[in-house]
Chains A and B, each alone.
Chain A
Amino acid sequence: MNQQPDHTQGSQADRIDHLVDLIMKYKRNCIDTDEHHELDEWIVDNDLNMHLFEDLTNEESMKEAVEWMSTARSSDALKKLKSQLHFERPRRRFSILMLLFHCTIAASLLLLLTLSLVVINRE
């Protein structure tokens, strides 16, 4: 299996993300009419969608799923993985404030140097 990210994968993921978004909006009672219509179309498209939607809006079923996820030993898995992976050193985020800070220091040093030279020359 040698997969590369492609547009097909992206569009399917977008579709799934959109459906998840619609379902969550429905659960939050903040779905608008058009979105509700779109969700309805997906639900009645086939029996599997209908059953899945019933499951996703069933409190017990979702509680079971979340309970199951809570048993995932994420930190152990992360620790194990990190011991096998190589990481790059983080690149510093560009900051205008940082740039101004460095410019100020450089300007101050230059000024100090110029003044010193002037004083030395006069003497």
Chain B
Amino acid sequence: MPPEKENIQYLAQSFQRGEEQGFNHFFNTLYPGLLFYAYRMINDKVAAEDIVEESFIKIWERHTTFHHHRLIKSWMYTTVRHACIDWHRQLKVTQEKEQEMAHLQKNNTETYAIQEMIRAEVASEIYNAINDLPPRCQQVFKLLFIEGKTLKQAADEMKLSIHTIKNQRARGLTILKKRAPDFYLVICAAVLLT
């Protein structure tokens, strides 16, 4: 389940102290969104992975200066954005295709960066909601929506009653509905859990 506000602040303090627990938390919640953001900025997944990883290394070098979870997030997004701009600059030197240049100009604007940040954050909310499902719910979702098994088959496999499977399914859907309301989330969950 997602941590409460007090706990997030505790985790931010743990991050500031340089503890693994704090790092793990912020990595797990920020990495997919940051990667998506970087990819949208540069359209190169491998380079995006490098940029995000390097940004985590950079923030860890100065972890003692971050006392609030929002600062960690905003610093990471800003750092990734700057790294993407640098990446584009290097591309400019090596490639002089007009199309690439147009992409570069479009992606370098402040407005574009903020828009993409909002997009990444909204998508992260949905992604993290699915990821935060309790393990048993995830397993039920996987069997029902990915493997396409019937309630009975899922019940047999998990050695549970059909009633329990139904309850887990309902529980998962309720959690998803609250945190990420889109109707197609079940499909997203199926994709995510593969």
A residues whose Cβ falls under 8 Å from a Cβ of B: 1, 3-5, 9-10, 12-14, 16-17, 19-20, 23-24, 27-29, 48-49, 52, 55-56, 59, 62-63, 65-70, 72-74, 77-78, 80-82, 84-91
- Decide yes or no whether B36 CB sits under 8 A from chain A: yes
The reply on B191 being an interface residue by CB < 8 A is: yes
Q: Is the CB of B188 within 8 A of A66?
A: yes
| 0/1 string, B37-53, CB within 8 A of A gives 1 | 00100000000010011
CB nearest neighbor in B for A75: B28
Bound CA span A62–B62, Å: 34
Question: Which chain B positions have C-beta within 8 A of A29?
Answer: 181
A-side interface mostly: helix
In the bound complex, residues from chain A placing their C-beta under 8 Å from that of B62 are 4
**Contact status B119-A13, CB under 8 Å:** no
Give the shortest distance, in Å, between B45 (CB) and chain A (any CB): 8
Decide yes or no: A62 and B53 within 8 Å by CB, A9-B78, A56-B119, A90-B21 being known contacts.
Answer: no
The one of A10, A52, A74, A88 in contact with B70, judged by C-beta atoms closer than 8 angstroms, is A10
B115 contact from A24, A52, A62, A72, Cβ within 8 A: A52
Judge if B172 is at the interface, Cβ distance under 8 Å. Answer: no
B125 touches A20 (CB 8 A): yes
CB distance from A18 to the nearest CB of B (A): 10
CB closest chain-A residue, reference B14: A90
Q: Are A4 and B74 in contact (CB under 8 A)?
A: no
| 9 pairs of A and B residues whose beta carbons are closest in the complex | A13-B74, A65-B123, A88-B18, A70-B192, A69-B32, A87-B20, A28-B181, A20-B121, A5-B71
B32, A59: Cβ atoms under 8 Å? no
23 A-B pairs within 8 Å (CB atoms) are namely A5-B66, A12-B114, A16-B114, A24-B125, A27-B180, A63-B184, A63-B191, A65-B36, A65-B119, A65-B123, A66-B130, A66-B192, A70-B188, A72-B31, A74-B31, A74-B32, A77-B27, A78-B24, A81-B53, A82-B23, A87-B19, A88-B18, A90-B17
Say yes or no: B57 contacts A59, CB within 8 Å: no
Contact yes or no, A23 B122, CB < 8 A: yes
